[in-house]
Structure 1
Amino acid sequence: MKLKLLTWDVKDTLVRLTCSVGEQYSAVAKSFGIHLEPKVLESSFHKVYRVQNKLFPNYGLNRGLSSQQWWTDVVKQTFRHCGINEDCTLNFIAENLYRDYSMVKNWEVLPGVQETLYQCRQLGLRLAVISNFDQRLDQILDHCNLGHHFEFILTSEMAGVAKPDVQIFQKALLMAKVMPQHAAHIGDNYINDYLGARDAGMQSYLIQQGGYHDSCERQVPKKHILQSPCQVLTIFERE
């Protein structure tokens, strides 16, 4: 079946952070006179993030939160768990981090991505993004010189639902006016990307730049595993 639409995940599929969360949090905190080890902040962040995402999934949209409020709470709780409780300072740190994570200095485009997206378009494929991200994603992709490749960028904040919910994939298909059998999705998460898209009737492929990562992913046929974005083009060579 000829593909017409190719949708992409973003983080760790097209771009990645230039440094760890702990390193970035530590650097910003240092500018406010707070000295904490990156590994301490990294550990605290992951604990807080898991709880926050469970209590307020998809940035707490159904609970009346904005994504910036959601992230502000994550940052403040991360530092509070490390013994920092000055609310005014924590607000400033949270504001700086929220702004900084939309800047190109904190992101790098993965090798081969720019060329792959260009070649996909040359083949006549329509490209779009489906990502569990917030409203900053358009700005991030533009700053990384990737935004122009996509017809639209659908974030979970915009859609009101997050992957792997089939509704976010269905919304993308409606926006593109493409039937699911004519669309494929590419991402690095087995549940959110690979299974989510297939549950919506799309084809899907799993990017695993370091090989298989867990037992679930061993259920994915080898022909659906891509070692890098560059290998996407082999999909069309097989057709």
Structure 2
Amino acid sequence: MALSKRLDEYKAVFFDVGDTLLTIPAAQVIMGRFLAARDFHPDEARIGELFTEAFRLFYYGKEVGAFEACTPETDRQFWIRLYGYILEHLGVEEQKWTPEQVHACCHELYDLFTSPEHYSLFADVQEVLASLQARGLRLGVISNFAPTLPAILESKGILHFFDPVVVSTLAGLEKPDPAIFTLALKEAGLHPSDVLYVGDHDINDVWAPNQVGIDAVKILRYEYHSGTGIRSLRELLDS
């Protein structure tokens, strides 16, 4: 990986969170157990395929449009739509579920997947955050996430690394609106050229910070991630 300048020329490194620092390693298993408790037993592999398909459709394939305010309610609605897509393609209608049951199930899934217990840090996170901090770099988070994110970071033992922590549902702004990056810079008292941003989404995590003058690098955590970037945060330490 080649940054536009050396890592030690930055004052701070800010991060996306989901699929950059944290992951739910077995989402299909968790959803499978959740549905099995409701007498629905779809194949876990099919659940996994639909998660990938839904992420591509609703998240990675989303184009830049008019920027709208972000609230806990709009975040919940986004995920309810995504979970509804998965349930529909798993065949809940054949299970005679009513629309009301599907809607309630999607809300329960949102609460399940925004609680700390199912998240895990990627293997390189603790080591790299500690190394970056030891080099004198300030660390921060800018993430589209539910209001539970600070509690999740705390539960994983990494919240103390970050200042600022800018969460879309708490800030009222969400990526790819460049304004969320401007807000983070203001909170940190930093200039755009001071910051390197790391995330997994071409638009949210590369295009958007670039709009305010922040350098960005993409991290490719999964096989379906395309383009150029880094495969591990450890690559930052060699730059």
Task: Give the TM-score category using the shorter length.
Answer: 0.7 to 0.9
Aligned pair 1:134/2:146, yes or no? yes
Match of 1:34 among 15, 33, 40: 40
Q: Identity of aligned pairs, percent? A: 26
What is the aligned partner in structure 2 of residue 231 from structure 1? 235
Aligned pair 1:119/2:154, yes or no? no
Task: Determine helix, strand or coil for the equivalent of 1:226.
Answer: coil
C-alpha contact 1:32 1:89 (8 A) present in aligned 2:
no
State the alpha-carbon separation in 1 of the partners of residues 69 and 136 from structure 2: 36
Q: Which residue identity does 2:140 align to in structure 1?
A: A
C-alpha contact 1:28 1:96 (8 A) present in aligned 2:
no
What is the aligned partner in structure 2 of residue 179 from structure 1? 191
Deviation larger for 163-172 or 190-199: 190-199
Matches within 5 A, 1:96-107: 96-107=108-119
Q: 1:175 to 1:212 in 2, by over 3 A?
A: same
* Residues 65-84 of structure 1: per-residue CA shift (max 9 Å, x gap): 44334433443453244442
Query: Shift of the alpha carbon at 1:138?
Result: 1.5
Q: Which residue identity does 2:142 align to in structure 1?
A: I
Aligned pair 1:6/2:10, yes or no? no
* Residues 161-195 of structure 1: per-residue CA shift (max 9 Å, x gap): 33233212111111111111111111222332123
Q: 1:190 to 1:77 in 2, by over 3 A?
A: closer
What is the aligned partner in structure 1 of residue 3 from structure 2? none
Match of 1:68 among 63, 76, 82: 76
- Segments of 5+ residues of structure 2 without an aligned counterpart are 1-7
Query: Shift of the alpha carbon at 1:30?
Result: 0.7
Q: Which has the higher contact order (CA 8 A, sep 6+)?
A: 2
State the alpha-carbon separation in 2 of the partners of residues 234 and 34 from structure 1: 48
State the alpha-carbon separation in 1 of the partners of residues 140 and 71 from structure 2: 28
What is the aligned partner in structure 1 of residue 155 from structure 2? 143
Q: Which residue identity does 1:35 align to in structure 2?
A: H
Q: What count of residue pairs does the alignment treat as equivalent?
A: 224
Cα root mean square deviation, aligned: 3.3
